Structure 1
Amino acid sequence: RGGFYVLLFYVITIGAEAQREVFQVTMQLDNYRKE
């Protein structure tokens, strides 16, 4: 049962990291289009 929470923690952490990566790339593309 403890493993489930560890897995959940990893999913949330990795998901947050991926979201931040995508956000940064999106911002860069947005700036690129404006120029």
Structure 2
Amino acid sequence: DLPKAVWARRTLYQLKGHPLLVNEVFLPALLNFQQ
């Protein structure tokens, strides 16, 4: 089953004058992870 909602963000950085787009997706299952 897929989660009903996930959190994501997109950030645009500049690296030596060039754009660097970073996409991050946070999965709810990681909150339940135990070592």
Structure showing the higher helix proportion among its residues? 1
Larger radius of gyration: 1
Which of the five TM-score ranges fits, normalised by the shorter chain? Answer: under 0.3
Higher relative contact order (CA 8 A, sep 6+): 2
Q: TM-score, structure 1 length as denominator?
A: 0.22
